């Protein structure tokens, strides 16, 4: 329930940068806080009118149920959920020739590393997979703390009759279509901003198993907080845009472990620091 409340993946980089400056006894500048709200979205990224009607209908039904959640219930949800659930993290480091090989493979296919990574990961799965990707929503490239993340999703079944390069390009094309169209790129932010705040809380409480109602159960199922979850969720922070040397201290590797979320089975985090790329997989045991 705290996911993105304190910040997004980029915010972690700026927190690390500030921490390292403090460790080196350097003056630390104030890092401003900024979230992206629905008012910040470009006009080309406003959600279609149909979804205004849909979320408005959900909100009216939800408010008629008059549910109020307090800290005690939230705390109980946390304790009860983690009493019966565990997660596991697998971390793999790529550097030197291994990293060059991966990047060259993506380059030969004419795609981004993320597209290549997705394709390579799903090539042995016969099913069509639902893949979510976190996207940096910083339109102006600011270095603020806060949540400025949005997201897209694609569906793809690997074609075993075609080359991996062909499949890479097909995956990449689907990603670019969503990323280059503000209606898709900012849909998650625009849509979720329309939901009543307590209804968003209820979706997580539904998943934790400590609360249910006709409206929240229906919305949770539609939005993927039930059984219809994404097969893969990926956040690639690319190359960390912070310094690696701070006096006597140097950052040699950064591992970014996104939190497990209720709407994905497998969560992957990727970040490159200097000549080392670290890949993490976080999942429920």
Main-chain phi, psi angles of 151, to 5 degrees: -165, 160
Examine residue 220 and state whether it is found in any structural domain, yes or no: no
| 258 belongs to a structural domain | yes
> 233 is written with which tokens?
């969720």
186 domain-assigned: yes
Q: Which residues pair with 131 in a beta bridge?
A: 154, 232
The b-or-e profile of 169-208 (16+ CB within 10 A means b, else e) is: bbbbebbeebeeebebbbbbbbbebebbebbebbbbbbbb
Pairing between β-strand 230-239 and β-strand 264-273 as defined by DSSP bridges: parallel
Number of domains in the chain: 1
In which domain, by residue range, is 32 found?
9-47+86-193+227-284
Could you give the CA distance from residue 129 to residue 122 in angstroms, rounded to a whole number?
8
CATH of the domain at 240: 3.30.559.30
Give the side-chain half-sphere CA count within 13 A for 234.
Answer: 23
The string of pLDDT tens digits covering residues 101-141 is: 999 999 999 999 999 999 999 999 999 999 999 999 887 88
The answer to whether residue 134 sits within a structural domain is: yes
Per residue in 175-207, pLDDT tens?
Answer: 999 999 999 999 988 898 899 999 998 988 888
Q: What is the pLDDT of residues 243-269, one digit of tens each?
A: 999 999 999 999 999 988 777 889 999
* pLDDT > 50? residue 1: no
Tell me, yes or no, whether 209 lies in a domain: no
* Domain assignment present for 98: yes
Average pLDDT score over residue span 160-174: 98
φ, ψ for residue 219 (rounded to 5)? -65, -40
Torsional class of 247: left (φ above 0), alpha (ψ -120 to 50), beta (otherwise): left
Q: Is residue 262 part of a domain?
A: yes
Does residue 209 have a pLDDT over 70? Answer: yes
Is the distance from CB of 8 to CB of 149 less than 8 angstroms?
yes
Reported as a pLDDT band with limits 50, 70 and 90, residue 2 is: very low
- Residue 207 placed within a domain: no
Q: How confident is the model at residue 3 (pLDDT cuts 50, 70, 90)?
A: low
Q: Read off the tokens for 222.
A: 């539609």
CA–CA distance, 173 with 119 (Å, rounded to integer)? 12
């Amino acid at each position: 329930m705290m996911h993105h409340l304190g910040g997004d993946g980029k915010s972690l980089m700026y927190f690390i940068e500030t921490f390292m400056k403090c460790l080196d006894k350097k003056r630390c500048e104030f890092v401003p806080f900024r979230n992206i709200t629905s008012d910040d979205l470009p006009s080309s990224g406003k959600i279609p009118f149909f979804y205004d009607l849909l979320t408005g209908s959900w909100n009216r039904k939800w408010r008629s149920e008059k549910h109020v959640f307090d800290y005690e219930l939230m705390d109980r949800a946390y304790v009860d959920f983690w009493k019966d659930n565990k997660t596991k993290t697998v971390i793999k480091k790529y550097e030197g020739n291994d990293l060059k090989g991966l990047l060259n493979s993506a380059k030969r296919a004419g795609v981004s590393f993320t597209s290549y990574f997705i394709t390579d990961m799903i090539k042995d799965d016969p099913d069509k997979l639902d893949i979510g990707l976190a996207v940096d929503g910083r339109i102006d490239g600011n270095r603020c703390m806060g949540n400025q993340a949005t997201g897209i999703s694609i569906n793809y079944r690997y074609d075993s009759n075609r080359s991996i390069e062909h499949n890479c390009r097909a995956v990449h094309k689907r990603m670019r279509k969503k990323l280059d169209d503000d209606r898709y790129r900012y849909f998650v932010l625009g849509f979720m901003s329309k939901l009543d705040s307590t209804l968003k809380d209820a979706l997580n409480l539904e998943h934790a198993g400590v609360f249910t109602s006709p409206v929240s159960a229906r919305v949770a199922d539609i939005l993927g907080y039930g059984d219809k979850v994404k097969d893969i969720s990926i956040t690639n922070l690319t190359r960390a845009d912070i310094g690696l040397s701070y006096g006597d201290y140097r950052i040699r590797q950064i591992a970014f472990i996104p939190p497990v979320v209720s709407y994905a089975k497998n969560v992957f985090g990727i970040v490159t620091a200097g000549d080392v790329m670290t890949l993490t997989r976080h999942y429920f045991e």
